[in-house]
A and B are shown apart, each in its own frame.
Chain A
Amino acid sequence: MTSQIVTAVLIGLSIGPGLSSNISAMDQAVSAEDRIFFENKIRPVLVEHCYECHSADSEEVGGKLLLDTREGVLDGGESGPAIAVGKPDESRIIQALRYDGIEMPPEKPLPKTVVNDFVKWVRLGAPDPRVRPDVAPTLDTSTSGDEKPPLWSLRPRRTSAIPEVSNKAWPRDSLDSFVLARIEAAGINPTNDAEPRTLIRRVYVDLLGLPPLMDEVETFVEEYRADRQTAVRTLVDNLLARPQFGERWGRHWLDVARYGESNGNDGLGRNPTFPHAWRYRDYVIDAFNRDVPYDHFLTEQIAGDLLPSDSPTERDRYLIATGFLAMASKPAKAMNTNFDMDIVADQIEVIGTGIMGISVACARCHDHKFDPIPTLDYYALAGIFTSTETMWGIAANEKLTASPTDLHVLEAAPKVLPPEGFVETVLVLESNTGIPKPIPKSKWPVGTPLAIGVRDKAKPADCRVNIKGDAKKLGDAVPRGFVAACHTDASKSLIIDPKQSGRLQLAQWLTRPDHPLTARVMVNRIWLHLFGQGIVRTPDDFGVYGERPTHPEMLDHLANRFVEDGWSIKRLIRSIVLSRTYQLGSDVEESLAKADTENLLLARHSLRRLDAESLRDSMLAVTGQLNREPAEGSIVRHRDILVNLAGNLHEPSNHRSVYLCYLRSSMPPELAAFDLPDFTTVVGQRDVSTIPGQALHLFNNPFVIEQAEHFAQSIMKGSTDDNHRVRSAFNRALNRDPSQNEIDQAIELLRSTKTELRSDNKAWNSLCQALLVTNEFRYID
């Protein structure tokens, strides 16, 4: 199925009955109900069982019948129309499915329930939201003489002309033209620009993960009135230069890198710390702040140990970067003959899913069922990592979990000794006897700066296929290499030196300007954090079963710009934030919302919830408690211990959340309620769940209560007049003045609470906490 068809389907999907009169191309409006039925019951079956022979993409169209458009179904093929609308028994497609005269699909009949769905569909009048696809895609034929890759994301990026739009005054950036063209084609109008108060809050949270202060809001509103774009440009440049930018965007990357400060449960309940992982965290924050070009950023993380360096500081940084490949949440080594290959699987997964948006992992046991990844490709990559030594450290001296490894010893980083009187908080017990084990002497002097990471093994070698993923059943060795489906002519020339692991070549291969996936996937990740949804709404899956891009030409346009702009993340973010599309309001008329419930057309911005870190940081910022300096190190930096035996290791902190201790299976309690991933796999987009545990957190968690107290204290100090205080509390928490009704209700809450509890403080605490937990505080428009 081509992306064009999908695009067309998405347009079809986005058009509701309320707008059908505007759509001349649609001679039949499909009701929401029918559309759902079609999308769930009919289309997947057509895609899976029929398109191979009955679609525009088929090599040979069976019976000249096309089932990939509504017209195709109605027009039929050699033997006439596929359906008789409303009459299942007379419809050829039903007869074929029933194996009555003709037999389709030829291999074996589909389950009766599926046939019944088709009967129902025909009886309903065969409602079909699909429209005729655009003309066939024009591939740049010069790139390859081979067969074209069938998957959209593996095709070379295209350079599309900037689309013509009717409303020429609307676009500010060329990306706006791509968006507006789609909106105009759907016969609707984009919503208005966001109010400046809304916009500044959005930009602050998106770029820094923090809300603006009230005076920053007022200044911006004034400047915006004078000259909109200059005001926004000044604001964006200012924020991109702040160190909080790297803390915000580095955190997004740490999700992709499955960053954790402990191994996580090894399956036997043991969870050793990673005492040195925090250095990788600091490296990532720093890289985002310095705007290290993305291609170099990746190369450092995959092969930093193999790069030449100018100084001991740079050398340290490169070694720390390779921590990216040493973060595996390892299953216990005890009784696990596949242990080494489990580490390799994690490395392949973070490269595949994290960088390329394609899961290579299932090819460990069999050729990928959907995506073009054969088992041989998996073991070609695996050879690179089996030729690599992965260094996670001593794993709390618990050999049943993992054997101890060497670590990178840093040169320039300062030696930091444990605080005086430091005592290890937990002893490791011998697992069968329960007797405490003596703490082994470290091979390094106390305080030696160390880092987890990787380096080449002394004798690199190709990897043999593990038949069905079993390390004991070995097949042939596969020459080290890359994923064949992503090859371009030029990249085929990259040869792995047999004396090296091949990581450097892997990094070069991934960051070639013509790699079909690397730039697309990262552009999409960046877009996702600015809009709440990606252009591809499955940011970690660009494969057959991932979603198709809503704006494929724009995705390629932005990816091209990204590469041509020297892979600069800051520049890309800047362009997007300065676009008209980004600056749209999120409030819309009901008709527009209904026409495009999922906001596939981007005719408005979307309401988004603050993530766990931004919520905590915003609370600290509003109450005046935030320590904006980076926190140093980690609470586990001197602790090589089993977290599961240690109880709660977390300590209160006023630093930003990114500096809290991300122990797997033991998350910081201040963050745990709001959909933190478990940091064992690549997570490009966090869940946004709504569960009662979150409400309990907001109303009862000691951190929130304490922040409310600080907030109340500072509000009460500011004035003696209750009206004035209420106004000031609203200003600080919500960046706006309260309405008269809101003031009245607040005063009433204060009065009744004061009467009941006989405490002014408690009354103000209650009001201040209330403001911090409102949806208005926790969501940005």
Chain B
Amino acid sequence: MSFSRRAMLQSTSCGFGGLALNALCGEQVAAASDSGLEAQTPTLAARAKRVIFLCMSGGPAHLDTFDCKPQTGKKKHPGSVFQFRQHGESGLSISELLPDTAKFADDLCVINGMHADTGIHAQSFLQLHTGDRLRKRPSLGSWISYGLGTENQNLPGFISLNTSKSSIYSSAFLPSIYNGTPIGVNGESMSLATVSNVGSDHLPLSAKRRQLDFVQMLNRGHLKRRPTDQKLESVIQSMELGFRMQSVAPDLLDISTESKATLETYCVGQQKKATGTCKVSDFGRQCLLARRFAEAGVRFIEVSHGSWDQHKNHRRDLQANCHVTDAPIAALLGDLKQRGLLDDTLVVWGGEFGRPGLTPEDGKNETGHNARGFTFWLAGGGVKRGYVHGKTDPTGARAVEGKVHFRDLHATILHLMGLPPNDLKYWHAGREHRLTGPEGGNVVHDLFA
């Protein structure tokens, strides 16, 4: 089953035309839809309604976080250099660097058999987000918005916080309405980051509404003189969405209404300085915003922290990265749980690859990149709780059991969202494209509760 969204756009009289899911169901697209963002009922039984992706950019060291590799013989070999302890009823092993996350051990579904194709940051990071390591392709969040629309008509379906290159949140050849909306890019302070131009006090909203009404009167007159043009109608619609965002987004971005206790639990604004590779990203505020967006019905929210690329000062920098992310992540999990949101929110944690282990007591403190075996974890959204899937070899160098490639991770996430991973396609430049690439991805059913 596959379809061409583009052809449908051409066949209907509206800008954004038909809907991916209707097409997936083999239905003909009927009437003009407003924006392409309407919430859709997925084809498969969906276990999750939204995704929060905690993107640990730079390659978090799996052996010192979630994949415990103790020494096995007389001869020292690479492995974990921080202490692990078992947590919760499940007895999940988690590093001493993550004491708060460890409190949620029974909620985590740890994948220790992750593997990817390359140890080059930019390429693997792109592959993690888009399935392709070389070319600009639609991001995971764009595919999901394309498939499912958004539950809140006043907000975009895909928001990316503290993001880097636009290729990471691009809709590429998918219709641009599915592009991620960036909040905080390229060195902006994440404590102040916001949606660009979302507000301005040069006019009160009431006056802006009248101004917009006047603009739309002219726009409709302009459209009337050009009845055959399809672009103009979608401009009129997106001006309305922009206006609605003005009334909703500033409040959502304003966390001052949260209780002092909540702000403290999330550690908002608490990280004062960078430590080595560990940058200041006000990760607590990002996590809190993610919860607020999730609650407001945004489909896919990415929050990012980096860099976990601690080469020379492995111990110090890893410790710093863990320290500034641990409590906010725990706060997010706890908050989602308490609000009953964790059941249908899929939380995903991981980076573009892992790192080789250090050998205890040999004095070295430098690590590199390892794409052949590393860790991701999932929580909520219909996955098993307190469960470990797959494993790496005794030195953590490569995945040996329950191997999960990025393609498979993508397929699994789409499946949890109710989208058939290998059938969610889009016709572009002479062939059909899908997130899982020509090879296709395998849904890892073992992870499902």
Contact = CB atoms under 8 A, between A and B. Distances in A.
A749 B211 contact: yes
B125 interface: yes
Contact of A40 (B125, B156, B235, B427): B427
A756 B125 contact: no
Interface in A17-57: 32-33, 36, 39-41, 44
Interface in B390-438: 427, 429-432
B238 A700 contact: no
Interface stretch (B81-89, B107-115, B260-268, B308-316): B308-316
Interface in A268-303: 268-269, 271
Interface of B: 1-4, 7-8, 10-11, 15, 28, 58, 119-122, 125, 136, 156, 164-167, 176-177, 179, 181, 185-188, 195-200, 202-204, 206-208, 210-212, 214-215, 217-219, 221-223, 225-229, 231-232, 234-236, 238-239, 241-243, 245-246, 274-277, 279, 306-307, 309, 311-313, 317, 368-369, 427, 429-432
14 contacts: A265-B165, A332-B122, A335-B368, A644-B186, A665-B185, A692-B238, A693-B181, A693-B195, A696-B198, A742-B221, A756-B206, A766-B210, A770-B215, A776-B218
B203 A779 contact: no
Contacts of A692: 156, 238-239, 241-242, 245
Contact of A690 (B222, B227, B238): B238
B187 A647 contact: yes
A538 B58 CA distance: 35
B231 A434 contact: no
Contact of B243 (A36, A687, A695): A695
Nearest to A590: B228
A591 to B, nearest CB: 10
Contacts of B121: 267-268, 331-332, 335
Sorted from nearest, which 9 A-B pairs have the closest CB atoms? A695-B242, A689-B176, A267-B122, A593-B228, A700-B200, A545-B430, A692-B242, A40-B4, A36-B7
B10 A597 contact: yes
Contact of B208 (A544, A644, A699, A745): A699
Contact of A691 (B179, B210, B212, B228): B179
B218 A646 contact: no
B177 A691 contact: yes
Nearest to A336: B120
A752 B210 contact: yes
A702 interface: yes
B218 A742 contact: yes
A765 interface: yes
B431 A434 contact: no
Given A39-B7, A672-B196, A691-B179, A607 B229 contact: yes
A35 to B, nearest CB: 8
A775 B223 contact: yes
B137 to A, nearest CB: 13
Contacts of A697: 196-197
Interface residues of A, number: 89
Contacts of B228: 588, 590, 593-594
B309 A268 contact: yes
Contacts of A771: 218
B25 to A, nearest CB: 14
Contacts of B279: 269
A268 B307 contact: yes
Contact of B167 (A669, A678, A775): A678
Contacts of B311: 432
B355 to A, nearest CB: 12
Contact of B2 (A113, A765, A769): A113
A776 to B, nearest CB: 5
A690 B429 contact: no
B206 A678 contact: no
A770 to B, nearest CB: 5
A756 B207 CA distance: 8
Contacts of A434: 274-276
Contacts of A609: 231
Given A32-B11, A538-B429, 15 more contacts: A39-B4, A40-B3, A41-B2, A113-B1, A269-B307, A335-B121, A431-B276, A432-B311, A434-B276, A645-B187, A669-B196, A673-B197, A749-B211, A770-B218, A775-B219
A694 interface: yes
Nearest to A426: B187
A693 B242 CA distance: 7
A555 interface: no
A265 B164 contact: yes
Nearest to A541: B429
A766 B238 contact: no
A774 B242 contact: no
Contacts of A779: 222, 232
Contacts of A723: none
B124 to A, nearest CB: 10
B392 to A, nearest CB: 21
Given A696-B196, A749-B210, A691 B276 contact: no
A117 B306 CA distance: 47
